[in-house]
């Protein structure tokens, strides 16, 4: 579970805004007794005595129900009918999303909260298998139907590389690997599988895709971006969104096995100084507008063209102003200029990083264009604050009605009003969760995401030809037998974790299955070599991380210390054994890391990024008949100390340029 959420687990209710305002980072929250001072009291003194808002009378509600529950009618008409009978309270609660650990079935019935999320690693208290999720999600969804107006509950999850929180899900390569694959048709296939595995547990909404353009891989979210180039992101994200949402057009209704997408995090992600997560893009507002015009908006345009139903602002700031409170970017550019008709959902407790008291944060963000507030712990306070601010005239009724209409539109379009909770269709999909067929799509994605960086000459043959002669293979390194490492962050838990955290095929298992008819395969964690080995495959890279925990100093962009020792040990042993096996290096990492010293020493080098659960995709290419087709979506430097000036460096400083990749016959691939 996220650190931020541990607070609730301890049963402490805090006011975070003061802390956020002082430290600026959501992750820095600590528990301290003087943080419980609420800013609400100050504002209450300023406002008029609240008026009582009456619920619409029963006959009016019955008449409205005839319209909004009629699935034959157009979405807009249903939204209008429902909105016309909602009280201020009902509207305000539609605008909030709480974390599932902080929302009980009774809370849903009593407040009519609009949405619930599971943040990274937030599984139901009784278990993390699909059936546990289905039970938890559906008990909350069923509770919403018992409220006065029966407005269904929207459940959101971070299905960022498969339905990755749930044990046994099919886990795909992280986005940077899909950026290397650079295949829009593959993105559609993936979206289709993800949507079905998400729908199988009753969830209708995924906070994906991430449209970041990582420019500085010190950033811990580099792997969540497809590419450093905006055009690549647009090319891949558009088809992904379309397929995830079942190719829904205009105000149509989505098909049953589609999921609401979320283009995130708007905007400027990847451009912060020194790659700091949630940091500042140091440009004036006018300079930033120029950057937008030069392509930074294109991924968002592509998603909007494909009818993306939600957008999440970024934690980062532009010229010191947080995106969440930036009316120019959220309303003028996103909603008006780009014509985005869906809902804007704030990021996890992100409004707490904006300036002012809690009331000011809510007012400023809502007036800037936020429609739904992801307030993990403070959802109830947030709804009450919206009510108070509307009564005080600090948020207009029109703004609130616009926000609620956008939320309801998403709910109607995704069939939430027309579907049974735990429908037969959901149960059908449940049977396919983590199926062989779904895993085949992920395996293909792994194959396509691999980038061959070196294919050296060995005894007059290219390494990738020579490898076919293998009879005795030693696979080295803990990463070769570690599903957690090959999946990276956002897998089962928020940060991810090394070890056998879920079902899948480790890299060494995939190699064994591929070559077992003709070669012996052994695995050595520390690189103890069999003198008879003719091929050595060494797997090195990073340990899992997510968000700010992945931010590093330039000098830390390198293989983990255990892997560095492994590389040294292998070198010594080769000398001691006096033989000369074919040496292949496989890197599993969310970003380029310093492998300079080893590129010369290895005959072949493969960047595998974070491939996910289907490790046999690597063996398919390395030892099977598939060729390498992936190319780098990100520039790879020689000297990571120079990373902060990356884009100003001469070619001589680049180890592998953007777009680089070879095939088995040594040709340089062309990235299109
Ligand atoms: C991340 C988002 C994510 C949200 C919900 C935030 O910390 O920035 O990408 O969707 O948490 O888990």
- What are the tens digits of pLDDT across the range 597-615? 999 999 999 999 999 999 9
Q: Is 119 in the pocket of ligand 1 (CB under 6 A)?
A: yes
Domain-embedded: residue 47:
no
Q: Which carries the bigger pLDDT value, residue 27 or residue 603? A: 603
Model pLDDT for residues 92-148, shown as the tens digit of each residue: 999 999 999 999 999 999 999 999 999 999 999 999 999 999 999 999 999 999 999
Residue nearest to atom 10 of ligand 1 (CA): 207
DSSP code string of 287-351: HHHHHIIIIITHHHHHHHHTT--EEEE-S-EETTEEGGG-HIIIIIIIIIIS---SEEB--TTGG
Residue nearest to atom 6 of ligand 1 (CA): 348
564 shares a domain with 625: yes
514 shares a domain with 473: yes
Q: Taking all residues of the chain, what is their mean pLDDT, rounded to a whole number?
A: 92
**What confidence score (pLDDT) does residue 371 get?**
99
Is 347 known to be catalytic? Answer: yes
Is 107 known to be catalytic? Answer: no
**What confidence score (pLDDT) does residue 39 get?**
32
pLDDT band for position 54 (cuts 50, 70, 90): low
Place of tokens 């792994």: 446
For residue 548, count other CB atoms closer than 10 A to its CB.
Answer: 19
189 shares a domain with 313: yes
- Active-site option among 158, 217, 228, 347: 347
Domain that holds residue 508: 450-656
Domain-embedded: residue 80:
no
504 shares a domain with 617: yes
**What confidence score (pLDDT) does residue 427 get?**
86
Say if residue 29's pLDDT is above 90: no
Model pLDDT for residues 307-341, shown as the tens digit of each residue: 999 999 999 999 999 999 999 999 999 999 999 99
Phi, psi of 119 (to 5 degrees): -75, 180
Say if residue 42's pLDDT is above 90: no
How large is the average pLDDT for residues 39-58?
Answer: 49
Residue nearest to atom 8 of ligand 1 (CA): 347
476 shares a domain with 427: no
Closest to 414 in 3D by CA, of 64, 115, 184 = 115
Distance 119 CA to ligand 1 centre (A): 7
Name the residue of 348, 379, 494, 548 to mutate for ligand 1: max ligand atoms within 8 A of Cβ: 348
Model pLDDT for residues 385-409, shown as the tens digit of each residue: 999 999 999 999 999 999 999 999 9
Say if residue 8's pLDDT is above 60: no
Domain-embedded: residue 148:
no
Q: Is 269 in the pocket of ligand 1 (CB under 6 A)?
A: no
> Does an H or E element contain 156, and which?
strand 154-157
Residue nearest to atom 4 of ligand 1 (CA): 348
> Which domain CATH number covers 297?
3.20.20.300
How large is the average pLDDT for residues 422-435?
Answer: 91
**What confidence score (pLDDT) does residue 583 get?**
98
511 shares a domain with 633: yes
479 shares a domain with 424: no
Residue nearest to atom 5 of ligand 1 (CA): 119
**What confidence score (pLDDT) does residue 1 get?**
53
Say if residue 21's pLDDT is above 90: no
How large is the average pLDDT for residues 555-564?
Answer: 98
Distance 225 CA to ligand 1 centre (A): 14
Say if residue 26's pLDDT is above 50: no
**What confidence score (pLDDT) does residue 253 get?**
97
Domain-embedded: residue 26:
no
Distance 344 CA to ligand 1 centre (A): 14
pTM of the entire structure?
A: 0.92
Say if residue 47's pLDDT is above 50: no
Number of domains the chain is built from: 2
511 shares a domain with 427: no
User: How big is the chain by its Cα radius of gyration, in Å?
Assistant: 26
Q: Is 158 in the pocket of ligand 1 (CB under 6 A)?
A: yes
Q: Is 264 in the pocket of ligand 1 (CB under 6 A)?
A: yes
466 shares a domain with 333: no
Distance 180 CA to ligand 1 centre (A): 24
């Amino acid at each position: 579970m996220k650190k931020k959420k541990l607070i609730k687990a301890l049963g402490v209710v805090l006011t975070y805004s003061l802390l956020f305002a002082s430290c600026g980072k959501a992750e820095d929250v600590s528990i301290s007794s003087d943080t419980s001072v609420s800013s609400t009291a100050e504002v209450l003194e300023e406002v008029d005595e609240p008026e009582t808002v009456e619920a619409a009378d029963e006959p009016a509600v019955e008449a409205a129900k005839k319209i909004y529950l009629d699935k034959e009618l157009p979405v807009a008409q249903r939204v209008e009918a429902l909105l016309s009978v909602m009280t201020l309270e009902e509207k305000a609660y539609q605008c909030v999303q709480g974390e599932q650990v902080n929302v009980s079935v009774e809370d849903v019935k009593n407040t009519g909260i609009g949405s619930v999320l599971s943040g990274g690693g937030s599984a139901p208290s009784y278990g993390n298998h699909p059936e546990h999720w289905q039970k938890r999600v559906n008990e909350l969804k069923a509770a919403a139907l018992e409220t006065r107006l029966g407005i269904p509950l929207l459940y959101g999850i971070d299905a960022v590389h498969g339905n990755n929180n749930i044990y046994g899900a099919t886990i795909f390569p992280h986005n940077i690997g899909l950026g290397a694959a650079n295949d829009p048709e593959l993105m559609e296939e993936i979206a289709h599988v993800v949507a079905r595995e998400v729908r199988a547990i009753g969830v209708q909404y995924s906070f994906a895709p991430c449209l970041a353009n990582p420019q500085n891989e010190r950033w811990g979210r580099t792997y969540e971006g497809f590419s450093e180039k905006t055009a690549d992101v647009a090319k891949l994200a558009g088809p992904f969104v379309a397929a995830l949402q079942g190719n829904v057009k205009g105000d149509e209704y989505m098909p049953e096995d589609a999921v609401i997408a979320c283009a995130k995090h708007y905007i400027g992600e990847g451009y912060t100084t020194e790659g700091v997560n949630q940091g500042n893009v140091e440009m004036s507002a006018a300079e930033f507008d120029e950057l937008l015009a030069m392509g930074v908006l294109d991924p968002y345009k592509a998603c909007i063209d494909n009818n993306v139903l939600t957008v999440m602002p970024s934690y980062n700031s532009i010229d010191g102003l947080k995106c969440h409170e930036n009316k120019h970017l959220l309303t003028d550019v996103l909603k008006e200029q780009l014509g985005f008709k869906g809902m804007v959902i704030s990021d996890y407790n992100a409004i707490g990083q904006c300036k002012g008291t809690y009331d000011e944060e809510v007012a400023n963000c809502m007036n800037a264009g936020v429609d739904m507030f992801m307030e993990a712990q403070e959802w109830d306070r947030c709804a009450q604050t919206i009510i108070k601010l509307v009564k005080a005239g600090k948020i207009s009724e029109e703004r609130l009605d616009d926000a609620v209409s956008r939320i309801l539109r998403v709910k109607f379009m995704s069939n939430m009003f027309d579907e049974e909770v735990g429908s037969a269709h959901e149960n059908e999909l449940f049977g396919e969760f983590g199926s062989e067929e779904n895993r085949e799509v992920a395996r293909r994605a792994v194959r396509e995401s691999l980038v061959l960086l070196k294919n050296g000459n060995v005894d007059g043959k290219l390494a990738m030809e020579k490898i076919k002669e293998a009879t005795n293979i030693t696979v080295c390194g803990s990463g070769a037998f570690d599903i957690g490492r090959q999946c990276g962050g956002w897998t089962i838990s928020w940060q991810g974790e090394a070890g056998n955290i879920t079902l899948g095929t480790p890299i060494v298992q995939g190699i064994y299955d591929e070559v077992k008819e003709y070669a012996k395969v052994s695995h050595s964690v520390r690189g103890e070599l069999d003198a008879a080995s003719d091929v050595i495959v060494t797997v090195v890279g990073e340990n899992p991380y997510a968000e700010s925990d992945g931010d590093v100093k330039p000098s830390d962009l390198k293989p983990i210390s255990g892997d560095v020792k492994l590389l040294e040990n292998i070198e010594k042993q080769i000398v001691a054994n006096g033989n000369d096996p074919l040496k292949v290096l496989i890197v599993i990492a969310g970003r380029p890391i310093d492998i300079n010293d080893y590129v010369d020493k290895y005959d072949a080098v493969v960047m595998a990024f974070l491939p996910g659960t289907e490790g046999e995709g690597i063996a398919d290419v390395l030892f099977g008949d598939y060729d390498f087709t992936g190319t780098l979506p990100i520039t790879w430097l020689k000297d990571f100390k120079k990373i902060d000036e990356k884009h100003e460096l001469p070619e001589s400083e680049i180890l592998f340029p953007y777009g680089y990749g070879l095939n088995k016959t040594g040709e340089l691939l062309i990235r299109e």
